[in-house]
Amino acid sequence: MSNTPSATAAASSPESDSYGMTELNREAQMGGLGTETTDREVRRISLADFEQRREQIADELWSAATDIGFFQVVDHGIDMAEVNHAFEMSAKFFELPREIKEQFPLKKGQNAGWEFSSQVRPSVGTPDQKESYQLTLPRMEGLWPSEEELAGFRQTLLDFEHKCWKLAMDILGCFADKLGFDREFFTRAHDPSTATYQSTLRLLHYYAFPDAMLDEPNVWRAGAHTDFDALTLLFQRAGQGGLQVLPGAEASSQAWTPVEPSDEAITCNIGDMLMRWSDDRLPSNFHRVRAPRRGEYTGPRYTIAYFAQANTDAVIESAAGKYPPITGGDYIAQRIAANFAK
């Protein structure tokens, strides 16, 4: 495998265009209710003194990632006040009148703009019960609320997106070390200074759950899925639970582990791009957001996710040839096409 993640070869071929979507085939089998288990540990890893402790941190990240593929990081360098401010801006955006939000519609296949109830997971075949606003830096023309509509929104999100990118690259740099790549391999593949950058910051608002739907079967805030990207950073709010995880290697068990939300910890998971780059040594895993039950919090749920998605011209190529090479652009386009209502 080349140590330069740029499109130096024709990565898209008939084989890769119809590459079976192994990930989608797995996902389509994950619609069942399953059971819950607390036997798995979602590890919490401190990133304090990152440069001085880098080798130890890399070992801890690798151990967690190769175990269940999910972990939480604390002491991550993003100030709590900045996280709170980003959530405040998110809530204000979703409180805007619908006619204003409709001025910023999700660009088809672009991961930029506002959508509501349009994401249909192959696992369940029903729309997620949420709305979202997606920020992908080179694709935001005409998609920002004005200062009159929402003062400070644009700059807050731009600053927050950059901090998320930096943290994601630090973590991916640790994985590069463990995989034998050069340390900047993933940083080059997620270069925000170019027009091919397609990592996405996504604000999510899961609707308050009506009492009449609490006993309905097959209703999910978000159906079971793996993420398209290399690495996801998920910011949650304490008391707004529902996230459940299931390691891909144990998918047949359908035994899901709940992840306790925390204001301080960022929940991280490996995505399908990194699984491909690592020849499955770093497995992506399934996660979903279940509907609340009677007696639980049924109000709105807010999260913020950063998806580190390889630039459109970066080639995702597994060293052992387990997967055919494909560009980041082709890969994301195919995954989006399978997940969003036409």
Using one digit for the tens of pLDDT, what is the confidence trace for 182-198?
999 999 999 999 999 99
pLDDT score recorded for residue 7: 42
Token readout for 215 is: 């006993």
Band of residue 4 on the pLDDT scale cut at 50, 70, 90: very low
Question: Which is more confident, 49 or 31?
Answer: 49
Least confident of 10-19, 139-148, 188-197, 217-226: 10-19
Mean pLDDT of 56-66: 97
Long-range contacts of 246-250 (CB under 8 A, 24+ apart): 246/30, 246/34, 246/285, 246/286, 246/287, 247/40, 247/67, 247/68, 247/69, 247/283, 247/285, 247/286, 248/26, 248/69, 248/283, 248/284, 248/285, 248/286, 249/283
Band of residue 36 on the pLDDT scale cut at 50, 70, 90: confident
Band of residue 340 on the pLDDT scale cut at 50, 70, 90: low
pLDDT score recorded for residue 34: 79
CA–CA separation, 64 and 7 (whole Å)? 31
Which residue's structure tokens are 């770093």? 282
pLDDT score recorded for residue 291: 82
Domain 14-339 has CATH 2.10.10.90: no
What's the angle, vertex CA 325, arms to CA 272 and CA 234, rounded to 5? 20
| Residue 74: strand, helix, or coil | strand
Closest to 326 measured CA to CA, from 248, 228, 247? 228
Give the pairing of strands 200-206 and 266-270. Answer: unpaired
Mean pLDDT of 338-342: 56
pLDDT score recorded for residue 52: 98
Mean pLDDT of 277-288: 92
pLDDT score recorded for residue 20: 44
Least confident of 82-86, 246-250, 318-322: 246-250
Is residue 62 predicted with pLDDT exceeding 50? yes
* pTM tops 0.85, yes or no: yes
What's the angle, vertex CA 42, arms to CA 282 and CA 66, rounded to 5? 15
Contact 173, 165 (CB under 8 A): no
Contact 177, 283 (CB under 8 A): no
pLDDT score recorded for residue 40: 87
Cβ-based burial of 97 (10 A; exposed 0-12, middle 13-18, buried ≥19): exposed
Whole-number average pLDDT of the chain: 86
Q: What ranges do the domains of the chain cover?
A: 14-339
The tens digit of pLDDT for each residue in 76-119 reads 999 999 999 999 999 999 999 999 999 999 988 889 999 986 54
Residue 142: count of CB within 10 angstroms of its CB? 11
CA distances to 20, 88, 164, 201, 271 from 113, rounded to whole Å, are 29, 18, 19, 11, 22
225 sits in which H/E element: strand 220-225
